[in-house]
Amino acid sequence: MSSPPGRRARLPSHGSGRSSEAREALRRRLQGLIDGNRVMIFSKSYCPHSSRVKELFSSLGVECNILELDQVDDGTKVQEMLSEITNQKTVPNIFVNKVHVGGCDRTFQAHQSGLLQKLLQEDAAHDYDLIVIGGGSGGLACAKEAAILGKKVMVLDFVVPSPQGTSWGLGGTCVNVGCIPKKLMHQAALLGQALHDSRKFGWEYNKQVKHNWETMTEAIQNYIGSLNWGYKLSLREKAVAYVNSYGKFVEHHKIKATDKKGQESCYTAAKFVIATGERPRYLGIQGDKEYCITSDDLFSLPYCPGKTLVVGASYIALECAGFLAGLGLDVTVMVRSILLRGFDQEMAEKVGSYMEQHGVKFLRKFVPVMIQQLEKGLPGKLKVLAKSTEGPEAVEEVYNTVLLAVGRDSCTRKIGLENIGVKINEKNGKIPVNDTEQTNVPYVYAIGDVLEGKPELTPVAIQAGKLLARRLFGTSLEKCDYINVPTTVFTPLEYGCCGLSEEKAIEIYKKENLEVYHTLFWPLEWTIAGRDNNTCYAKIICNKSDHDRVIGFHILGPNAGEITQGFAAAMKCGLTKQLLNDTIGIHPTCGEVFTTLETTKSSGLDITQKGC
């Protein structure tokens, strides 16, 4: 219930009970005040900033409810709980129509921009409680969770076709042009290696084995199509409105949706979540958009790409180069600087070395400057002119396909954020948020790959989306933990990691405070097949000043993702070197090497292995 300006609210008195029950009761009472009042001000009677805010609302003739934290018995606990809810430790702490506006400065900024007046006008007249812009993994997770919590939700999703005309269905990058088709094509390449190994294990076959690109892509696209359908069905079952249109903010709380025919509709919502993800970057050189493809196009390419140049050294570049070579194609990777920027560089070089030993050519310190079409066809022929980054040297070569994997750009510049004042990093389009994924505009949140400084990984977006919905509409205060997120690069020899790279660990903790344990190993499955001994590699980085806690986990070998996932859980629990020593390994497996690590880098001792 709202009260006239100047009236002081009192928090109902409750028995303390057990600590967790008392905290939950306090949270519910605060949420009741926030939900039950048009304007709710948590204040302190002597605070000049609080007085300014009260005077502002009084001058606007707006009724508000005020809780003076210095005049209630549990004011300190109230302020602590508000800090958990809002990530704001100070007063005044202001909510308008259930939206957290912030403190004194942000309230006056909202007043000057017109946002405060807009918030004061809003009530239950919105079309939706939540509109999610972007139907990728994170957006869908957030939308479905909000619907489960009883909210009216819409998802807007529209795929702008690539320069080559490729588009896809609901589900975002991971499902359609990312993790799923990538892993399946990686598996296709591994099966080719397994066929080669099988002769050593006694399998005899005389027929020449060859790979059929069209068969593979058709099967993969059929599977992806079933996932697209499943996502639509799941939204329908949870009563989430799905609109296949491009969303653009036109004013506060209002978005315009334009479908593929150009027809426009407008919708309003109390809250918005931006989950628009990223798209591949182009080079800005002659012929790149006309003749090159990206990961947007590769996985549904209707013909075998033939001799391929992959431009870039990101995990996407190396993964694609790896499985294309594994399928028997002639592949070259053109690298401007280093491999796998942001990853442990020792591991990155080992990844590259293995690929090079298995037929992938690397052209280092070069960048393309022109792409010219020599012949049309499926595939055709393209001439690539490249120049050295270190001197005047130039090279020229002909390829059937040029695949660009030089980074990705956030899809934030054409969705009208400037119309409502949401700030982005102008350099990369990323959206800065606080630790509750809230942007500088209180009712707008963002998750997934558009976030600045957060891991660009599907499971991260899903987790963040679910937890955001629970905080906004449920009873949870849990925030997404972006620390020690595991990942795997699905190159021919897989690289899994969790925690810090060796370079980052040295930067943070200093080399003298670290101990690095490492070893080469030979998977048992590789022995009979006569595959590379002493190529697979395991490394952990331990903080000596914290009980040898494992702060970096790295493995290069088969099934690296499966191994890394388990150890990531252990790292969440505070894994130490002693706990690894106390763990009995499963024999014979690759993962067991982490239970028997003895050799440190600082010792300089040999780490080659003679057997399993």
Q: Are 85 and 30 in contact (CB under 8 A)?
A: yes
List the one residue out of 473, 349, 341 whose CA is nearest residue 405: 341
User: Which two tokens mark 501?
Assistant: 């790279």
Strand, helix or coil for residue 26: helix
| CA atoms of 477 and 469, how far apart (whole Å) | 10
E strands of 470-608, at which residues? 487-489, 495-499, 514-521, 536-543, 549-556
> From edge to edge, which strands make up the β-sheet containing 495-499?
487-489, 495-499, 549-556, 536-543, 514-521
Helices and strands: H and E segment counts in the chain = 19, 26
32 marked as binding residue:
no
In angstroms, the Cα distances linking 385 to 286, 402, 511, 524 are: 10, 12, 43, 44
Element at 42 (helix H, strand E): strand 39-43
Strand, helix or coil for residue 545: helix
* Long-range Cβ pairs for the range 83-86 (8 Å, 24+): 84/477, 85/27, 85/30, 85/31, 85/477, 86/436
Question: DSSP code of 576?
Answer: B
407 sits in the region (left: phi over 0; alpha: psi -120 to 50; else beta) called left
313 marked as binding residue:
yes
| CA atoms of 48 and 39, how far apart (whole Å) | 19
586 marked as binding residue:
no
Strand, helix or coil for residue 85: helix
587 is catalytic: yes
169 marked as binding residue:
no
| CA atoms of 520 and 537, how far apart (whole Å) | 4
Three-state SS annotation for 422-451: CCCCCCCCCECCCCCCECCCCCEEECHHHE
Q: The tokens 């819409």 sit on which residue?
A: 154
Question: DSSP code of 114?
Answer: T
Catalytic residue among 111, 126, 253, 587: 587
183 marked as binding residue:
yes
Residue 188: CB atoms within 10 Å: 19
Describe the chain by its helix, strand, coil percentages, rounded to 5: 40, 25, 40
Handedness of CA 245, 247, 253, 254 (dihedral sign): negative
Q: Are 149 and 239 in contact (CB under 8 A)?
A: no
| CA atoms of 351 and 331, how far apart (whole Å) | 15
| CA atoms of 364 and 358, how far apart (whole Å) | 17
318 marked as binding residue:
yes
315 marked as binding residue:
yes
255 marked as binding residue:
no
113 marked as binding residue:
no
Q: Are 336 and 389 in contact (CB under 8 A)?
A: yes
247 marked as binding residue:
yes
The annotation places the binding site for FAD at 183, 247, 449
- Known catalytic residues are 587
List the binding residues for NAD(+).
Answer: 312-319, 407
